[in-house]
Each structure stands twice: as C-alpha cells, then as structure tokens.
Amino acid sequence: MAVLSRKLTIAIAALATLGEAAPWIPKNTPWHQQHTTGKAIYFITNEAENAVVALPIKRDGSLAAGKSTKTGGAGEVMIQAATGNPQHPDGLASQSSLTIVGNTIFAVNPGSNTVSMLAIDPKDPLCLTVVGKPVAVPGEFPNTVAASAKNNLVCVATTGAVAGVSCASFSHRGIEPMDKLRPFDIGQSTPPKGPINTVSQTLFSSDETKLLTMVKGDPTSNKTGYVSVFDIERQWRRPSTLATRGVRSSPNGTAVLFGTSSIPGRPNSYFASDASFGAAVISLDHKGVATTAHRQVIEGQKATCWATVSTASHSAFVADVGRDLLVEMSLSDASIIKEYDLSANGDPGLIDLASAGSFVYALSPGNGTTGAAVTVLDVSGGKGRAKQAQRFSVAGLASSSAQGMAVLL
Ligand SMILES: *[C@@H]1O[C@H](CO)[C@@H](O)[C@H](O)[C@H]1NC(C)=O
Ligand SMILES: *[C@@H]1O[C@H](CO)[C@@H](O)[C@H](O)[C@H]1NC(C)=O
Ligand SMILES: *[C@@H]1O[C@H](CO)[C@@H](O)[C@H](O)[C@H]1NC(C)=O
C-alpha cells in the first residue's frame, strides 16, 4: 500500500513537472532542469541619482553584463544608529525596494520621497522606460514597495519621520496619486536611524486580498515589532483600495521581523526572517492576526534579514548582511536544512535575494573595499544540494548603497 501510494505520488509529481516544462526543453531533459529560468534580475543603485540595474539571465541561469536606467528620483541611505555614520551596506534595511508585476517595475526613491514606474520592453528585458514622472508618497524615506496585478494597486511603505503605508492605482499610463498615509508610530527621523525600529517590507498576501507590512521592533528599548495587515477593498467597477483601518499583531517569540515570503500552496503561511535570531514560519488568521507556528535560531547569525522561497527546492533561503553565507530552511518548520558557506567569494555578507526557476540570486552591495556582486545559487539538485553557480561582479554598475532584488520570469 505504502509502495503503491509512493509510486502514485511520483507519477503525479512527474505529470505536474511535465506540465511546467517550457516548450523548447527536449523531452529527455531530467526533471530538475525543466524549471523555467528567469529572463533578467533587477536591483536599485540607491545612489543620489537612483537607477535600476538590469542583468540578463542566460539559459544556464548565470548572469551576464547588464545596464542601468535612471528612475528620475533620488536614493539615500539611513544612518547607522550605533555609529552615526551612513549605513553601508544595507542602506534601506528593507526587502523589496523594487518589485515586478507583469512587465512593470516599481522602485522606491528614498531620497526624494517618490516611487517610479518603469516599463520592461517585452523583447529586451534590459530596456527599461520610465512611465510618467516619479509619484510623490505622503511619507518620508520610502524603502519598500509591493504591487498587485489583480488589484492594479501599488503600495509603498515609508520609514522616516513620517512613516506608514499608502497605495495608488496604476495602469499602462502610470501611477495615480498616492492615497492618504496609514501611519506607523515608530518615532523615527529622516533619514532614519537604523537598522532596528524601522519598516522592513510590505507585501501582498498570496491571494492578493491583504497587504502585510513587517515593522521591526527595538529589543534594546523593549519595543516589540509587529505585522501590520490591511484588507484590500474591491468594489464593482471601482478601483481596489487599501482599507483605512488595519490590525497589528506581534507574533510570539519574534522581535525584528524582516524579509518575508508567502509559502506556495499554504495561503495563510509566511516564511519570515528575524534579524534578532533567525527565521520563523508565521500563520495569519482570517482577521489578519499573526502567530508564530515555528521558530528557528541560527547559531552565530549576525542579522538574518532577507528570505526567499524556492519552488525548485521546496525550501527557503535566508541571507545575513554580516556573513557571506546562505542558510536553507524548511518551509514546514523552519528547521535548518543546510548552511552554504560562501566566504571564499570575499563578500562581507548578502542582502536581498530572489528565486527564479532552479536558481537563487543574492545581492552583496559590498562595503567600498569589496565591490558589489550577485551570487547565483543553483538549487536544481533539490533540498540540501544547492551549489554556487557564479559570483558576478556588478562593481561597474552599483556600489555599497545598492539594494533590492527582483526577477523577471
Ligand atoms: C518590557 O515590556 C514588558 C511588556 O510590556 C514588561 O512586562 C517588562 O517589564 C518590560 N521590561 C523592561 C525592562 O522595561
Ligand atoms: C505561538 O503561539 C501559538 C498560539 O498560542 C502556539 O501554537 C505556538 O506554539 C507559539 N509558538 C511559539 C514559537 O512559541
Ligand atoms: C569589506 O569586506 C571584506 C570582506 O569581508 C573585508 O575583508 C574588509 O575588511 C571590509 N572592509 C571594510 C572597510 O569594512
């Protein structure tokens, strides 16, 4: 019986994989090579003249030389509270400083309090065109953005002296004016003094009915971080909007929630890193209240801040700005599957990262001495079998203020 059901499972898995295969893949290609490879990766320079850097992904998942397109807005980095110096790397202390829906990129401009929309040429993913003018956000120091195709809605969170979240409709013509800020009472300055006590990431729930925003606490002053959740209000023949009243909750055992990713196939579960200990699996109830289902400490971690879920390896990967290491973790209980020591690359640590097909792309902005680079991990071998495929220098295009990571599939 057990053998039979295992055979069935394998058969069903094989069928599912066949369905996913791209048409150009020869029939005899092993299943693990059949995941769609991304077309290009994108991140922001976050320099005074902010720009989106685009790098093409080759058929084998590796990166090649790319180019940069100005957003029309300004970048800025936060102040490191401990030293009073500009924070390099990790100047925004956020995940998702740019995001992609369809062939559209949205990118924050922290230094000019705006958000830019850029159209990707469907024939050339490196060719970006700014659509309209950058749109003002009603807050200070925007550091994270989420967009929903289902709702034609883009939402931006700010983490300066005026912190909170606001949204606007978008179309091919550009972004409409942003609506009124739903404030976050974090008591920050502009630029903020981080990295703790700032906004981490805003993201839509997997069914795009809610907007989640992760807000870091400050364990040194007994301030608990929280997950802010607002419903999306959909009305017949009217644009979707974000509710004006939301709920906030602090999942038990978390303090500095950071990069978060929804878990495919489990609509109310999220994989979230927490810079104070490691990572957690978080559940949202129907009211939008978050609780911790599983919590995992990563020994020796410095600041585990970014998380991505790979559908190829069915696992999560988290990055630490203070260690050149990626940790693979279980989507069921956040337990550690494997730690990949990448220190031979010489990068001081990794920040924002994204999964596409059988690969994970992780940005190291460097620190001025070591230049910016992207590490490519091949996860096609399945759980616990990732291998570094490439370390691609982007020193000519970006420096230690670079932030964000988005992939065009
Ligand atoms: C921290 O906050 C908790 C909950 O409000 C309280 O019980 C505790 O006494 C506080 N500790 C300090 C050191 O302020
Ligand atoms: C958090 O609280 C929930 C609900 O009370 C409980 O089921 C879960 O085990 C707790 N998680 C941790 C990590 O303490
Ligand atoms: C930059 O990072 C490299 C690699 O970790 C390290 O050797 C170097 O000392 C760092 N430089 C600065 C200025 O922190």
- Would you state the structure tokens that stand for residue 349, as one six-digit string? 């640590």
36 pLDDT band, cuts 50/70/90, is: confident
- Cα of 371 from ligand 3 centre, angstroms: 10
Residue 3 has pLDDT above 60, yes or no: no
pTM of the model: 0.90
323, 325, 367: residue to mutate for ligand 3 pocket, most atoms within 8 A of CB: 367
Interval 213-234 mean pLDDT = 95
112-123 in b/e burial notation, b at 16+ Cβ within 10 A?
A: bbbbbbbbbeee
Which ligand 2 atom sits nearest the alpha carbon of residue 252?
1
Interval 131-160 mean pLDDT = 98
Interval 1-6 mean pLDDT = 37
Interval 184-193 mean pLDDT = 97
Interval 303-331 mean pLDDT = 97
Per-residue pLDDT, 4: 34
291, 296, 333: residue to mutate for ligand 2 pocket, most atoms within 8 A of CB: 291
pLDDT tens by residue, 269-305: 999 999 999 999 999 999 999 999 999 999 999 999 9
Per-residue pLDDT, 56: 98
| 345 within ligand 3 shell (Cβ under 6 A) | no
Per-residue pLDDT, 236: 86
| 367 within ligand 3 shell (Cβ under 6 A) | yes
Q: Among 4-8, 156-160, 258-262, whose mean pLDDT is lowest?
A: 4-8
More confident residue, 47 or 22: 47
35 pLDDT band, cuts 50/70/90, is: low
**Which residue ranges have their beta carbon within 6 Å of ligand 2?**
252-253, 291-292, 295
- Of all protein residues, the one whose alpha carbon is nearest to atom 3 of ligand 3 is 348
Per-residue pLDDT, 6: 40
Domain 35-408 = CATH 2.60.40.10 = no
Interval 154-183 mean pLDDT = 98
| 370 within ligand 3 shell (Cβ under 6 A) | yes
| 369 within ligand 3 shell (Cβ under 6 A) | yes
Per-residue pLDDT, 24: 36
Question: Is beta strand 51-56 parallel, antiparallel or unpaired with respect to 67-70?
Answer: antiparallel
pLDDT tens by residue, 50-79: 999 999 999 999 999 999 999 999 999 999
Per-residue pLDDT, 237: 87
